[in-house]
Structure 1
Amino acid sequence: NGALKSSETEWDQYLTDRKKKGYNTIQFVTTQWRGGDMDREGRVAFTGSGRIELNIEFFQRLDQKVDRINEYGLVAAPVLLWALPSITGRYLSPGYYLPHEEAILLAKYMVARYGGNQVVWILGGDGEYLKAYEQHWKEIGRGVFGEGKHQGIVAQHPHGKSWIGKAYVEEDWLDILGYQSSHSTSQGTVDWINKGPMVEDWDQIPAKPIMNLEPIYEEIHENVTALDVRQATWWSLFSTPVSGVTYGANGIWPWLREGESILNHRDAPWTSTWSESLKLPSGTQVPYARKFFENFSWWEFTPAHEELLVNQPGDKNYKEFVSILKSPDYKTLLVYFPSRLDISIINRLGLVYSGSWFDPVNGTSKKANFKAGQRILDFSQDKDQDMILVLKAN
């Protein structure tokens, strides 16, 4: 809701904070939807259904917000058609209630309007893109982006724990395979990130970026911790070839001000205002992942925990799932420890590694001490938090 609800001063405050912390992409919804029924001025993007009429003043105001994102050196990621087909407020979401042709026309209008900006298009938001809706959304995607004349790349944002990678393998208009792991720390959710269909399919389908577009939000539940958010972030980055990840805070996405509640969502009185949410710990910590991976040829890394771990702690306790990424020549290994753990790694090529520990809480590194040159390398992570071990061959 940031682009819909914020004042110019608030938007600048938010973008300044995000740029400073190392974010590079800003997601926002481009029309009224179930979580925001109008903009700050009380306007909606369009009216009607079988016949729609655009509100140009709504888009003129939105123009300034989109331009401002780019002026800060950030990429705009507009969600064109919010689409959740169930739950309260679905009647506000154009991706749910607009007829087929009108949905295409509305999306094409927004693509034309913001095609001069630096953008990553998110066609649908929180939608069901399989089952009875699969052909509907494939045709919308082809209708909006199928000619290939648009600037920018295209993603889909599915509802929780939905994977469309295989079903959409022949949809050339879809550039990013997004998924949503949802907002839980339960075994079902953690196992879905680490062992789910994305993990099984990534090397069986044409190569495209795969990324978690909605891991658990900070403050979405009263007991969510910074560690919970970091674990979902790093597990997601290590579960498939590295591409990217999203951070969300439960007070920022609805752009909450003092005394407000979230439209069409359950009451969450513990949630901070949007401005106070800028100070939440994970909001600072998650961008350290970007700074960390920029030290490597990250696009070459592939998951390797099944190949290189002697024993997987996550088989006994799902919260202790250890993830490994490797470079093609095995000369760089990255190991994510979600907690205090002892593990053993197979040194496949008998290389001599030096090591360092990266701390995702503060973004610092220190030397790792271990017995190098062995066929089995033993490591102890003794901090009561998550850590990343970096191994480089000499």
Structure 2
Amino acid sequence: MNCEIQLISIFFFSFKKLRMLFVWTAIILIPISFYSQKTAFLKISRDHHFLETETGEPFFWMGDTAWELLHTLNREEIIKYLDDRKQKGFSVIQTVILAELNGLNLANAYGEKPLLQNNPARINEKYFTHLDFLLKEADKRGLYIGLLPTWGDKFNKKWGIGPEVFTPENAEAYGLLLGKRYRNNSNIIWILGGDRVPETEEQYEIINSLARGLKTEDPNHLISYHPSGGKIASNYIDEEWLDIDMFQSGHSSLAKEYEYIQNRDSHGFIRPVINGEARYEDIPDRFWEEEDFGRLDATDIRISAYWSLLAGAAGYTYGSNDIWQMYSEGKIPSLDARLGWKKAMGLPGAQQMKYLREFFTSFEWEKLQPAQNLISSENPEDTAYVAASQAADFALFYTPEGRSFQVNLDHLNFKTSEGYWFNPRSGTSIEIAESNIFKNNIFKTPSSGKGQDWLLVLLSR
């Protein structure tokens, strides 16, 4: 039997609610047939706060950003990319049919363009067989595709290449075509938008018409919306067809990801919330400003992810500056990409997302609720802001720079008996001696400073 050697980092928690036990780093043999698993259709949980499979298993959205994947990569490269992302624990790959980087007029790796005469009502079958291939290969690996029918510059050009080709009529026709073609593919999550929000009545009509076309032919799949930077979708699109809310916290080391989710219940519908575009690894920090702030790194990725999840997000999407655009030598880089997508797959932030997913899915993460009232010490909203969340029998505290903090144990939902420091950088943990847990209720991290983030885990008796 052909086998693949895979390193799995594992850690130990003596906790009755753990779904998996991790003890030490081990090397095991996994048959290649592991990749042949079939995905299930997704649905919204009964409380509308997370996603789950048809059988009721909570689904953890661990996304990767691959906007230009369909437009740029050939089939061998797609397999290489999917294999890597599967190994690193990603569950959702976000990509676009009508791509951002001149996706209408610049052909893909096989010389094909997506539309005939740039008419969304007339698709090019040869281009779409490439998408069919991606969906099939992703499904073999248990991966879902967060699929954008179009980038936003095709209905609201703004700073993009465009051209604007959508009308309400052809948008609905395009949605009908996509819905009919892919309604039986279980591993699709539709994502409308594409770094834009509608600004005119006609643009609203285009978005609603596209959604109506999709839903008419395809009632099986969930729909989300990817807005522009610093925005959450439901502030602009609060229609019944929007199943999953999504925000883009943007590419700034000063972003406060936890703020977006605090407003999720102020709208007409309660929905799961995903941070669908956050700080990209190795992108220039605040690239839109003239000053040089350096580049975002794995530390920024972790802060963004843990802040999002402890604030109540149902998932998080990682991004790399080279991978979103599938940059390679010989191409013109966007936003100062410099590594190439193949090298960028090995960046530390991506591996640390595997630790994150393994950690959260070892708990009943879907029952977590934000709980900032647990922190009784001063907690200024700076880059070291401590985030807190708890469920019925465990609580989590994320400190981005190792800042010590005091916990009001009277506000816990349970009586604590165990505590651990989880290291998001290595996926390992350090047990806290019981005598130290209750010492003035102050928790001092094993290390502190920029890049020294820790997650405190308190468990019930």
**TM-score range for the pair, normalised by the shorter chain length:** 0.7 to 0.9
Residue 458 of structure 2 is matched in structure 1 by 391
How many Å separate the matches in 2 of 1:168 and 1:217? Answer: 25
Shifted more, 248-257 versus 369-378: the winner is: 369-378
Shift of 1:147: 4.1
SS at match of 1:150: coil
Residue 324 of structure 1 is matched in structure 2 by 388
Shifted more, 65-74 versus 46-55: the winner is: 46-55
Match of 1:314 among 360, 380, 405: 380
How many Å separate the matches in 2 of 1:32 and 1:245? Answer: 22
Pairs within 5 Å for 1:204-219: 206-219=269-282
Q: Is the 8 A contact 2:223 2:242 kept in 1?
A: yes
Residue 168 of structure 2 is matched in structure 1 by 100
How many Å separate the matches in 2 of 1:30 and 1:138? Answer: 16
Residue 345 of structure 1 is matched in structure 2 by 407
Give the direction of change, closer, same or farther, for the CA distance of 1:51–1:155 in structure 2 (3 Å limit).
closer
Shift of 1:136: 2.5
Deviations 1:223-269 (A, max 9, x none): 21210111111111112x2410001111111111113223xx44x15
How many Å separate the matches in 1 of 2:120 and 2:360? Answer: 48
- Are 2:270 and 1:202 equivalent residues in the alignment? no
Pairs within 5 Å for 1:1-394: 1-34=68-101, 36=103, 37-48=106-117, 52-84=121-153, 85-92=156-163, 96-117=164-185, 118-129=187-198, 135-136=204-205, 139-140=208-209, 142-147=211-216, 149-166=218-235, 168-169=237-238, 171-186=239-254, 189-190=255-256, 193-196=257-260, 198-202=261-265, 206-221=269-284, 223-239=295-311, 241-262=312-333, 265-266=334-335, 268-269=336-337, 271-305=338-372, 307-315=373-381, 318-327=382-391, 329=392, 331-347=393-409, 348=411, 351-369=415-433, 371=435, 374=438, 377-384=441-448, 385-394=452-461
Tell me the TM-score normalised to structure 1 length: 0.87
How many Å separate the matches in 1 of 2:93 and 2:251? Answer: 20
Shift of 1:204: 6.3
SS at match of 2:307: helix
Tell me the TM-score normalised to structure 2 length: 0.75
Shifted more, 158-167 versus 247-256: the winner is: 158-167
Deviations 1:150-206 (A, max 9, x none): 32211100000112325544x2211110110011112xx22xx2234x313337654
Q: Is the 8 A contact 1:49 1:99 kept in 2?
A: no
Shift of 1:374: 4.8
Shift of 1:126: 0.9
Q: Is the 8 A contact 2:420 2:458 kept in 1?
A: yes
Q: Is the 8 A contact 2:115 2:122 kept in 1?
A: yes
Deviations 1:317-366 (A, max 9, x none): x1011111111x3x210111101211001112572331111111111122
Shift of 1:301: 0.7
Query: Over aligned residues, Cα RMSD in angstroms?
Result: 2.5
Structure 1 letter corresponding to 2:390: K
Counting aligned pairs with the same residue, the percent is: 26
Structure 2 residue runs of 5 or longer lacking an equivalent are 1-67, 285-293
How many Å separate the matches in 1 of 2:124 and 2:267? Answer: 45
SS at match of 1:246: strand
Q: Is the 8 A contact 1:354 1:391 kept in 2?
A: yes
Q: Is the 8 A contact 2:251 2:283 kept in 1?
A: yes
Give the direction of change, closer, same or farther, for the CA distance of 1:179–1:363 in structure 2 (3 Å limit).
same
How many Å separate the matches in 1 of 2:458 and 2:206? Answer: 44
Deviations 1:290-323 (A, max 9, x none): 1111111111111001x111134334xx101111
Structure 1 residue runs of 5 or longer lacking an equivalent are none
How many Å separate the matches in 2 of 1:208 and 1:148? Answer: 23
Structure 2 letter corresponding to 1:223: R
Q: Is the 8 A contact 2:176 2:217 kept in 1?
A: no
- Determine which structure has greater relative contact order: mean sequence separation of CA pairs < 8 Å that are 6+ residues apart, divided by chain length: 2
How many Å separate the matches in 2 of 1:87 and 1:219? Answer: 25
Shifted more, 341-350 versus 201-210: the winner is: 201-210
Shift of 1:149: 4.0
Give the direction of change, closer, same or farther, for the CA distance of 1:6–1:77 in structure 2 (3 Å limit).
same
Shift of 1:50: 6.7
How many Å separate the matches in 2 of 1:156 and 1:250? Answer: 21
Structure 2 letter corresponding to 1:2: L
Number of residue-to-residue matches in the alignment: 375
Give the direction of change, closer, same or farther, for the CA distance of 1:6–1:204 in structure 2 (3 Å limit).
closer
Structure 1 letter corresponding to 2:319: G
Shift of 1:131: 6.6
Structure 2 letter corresponding to 1:253: W
SS at match of 1:30: strand
Structure 2 letter corresponding to 1:293: F
How many Å separate the matches in 1 of 2:375 and 2:438? Answer: 14
Q: Is the 8 A contact 1:79 1:122 kept in 2?
A: yes
Q: Is the 8 A contact 2:171 2:206 kept in 1?
A: no
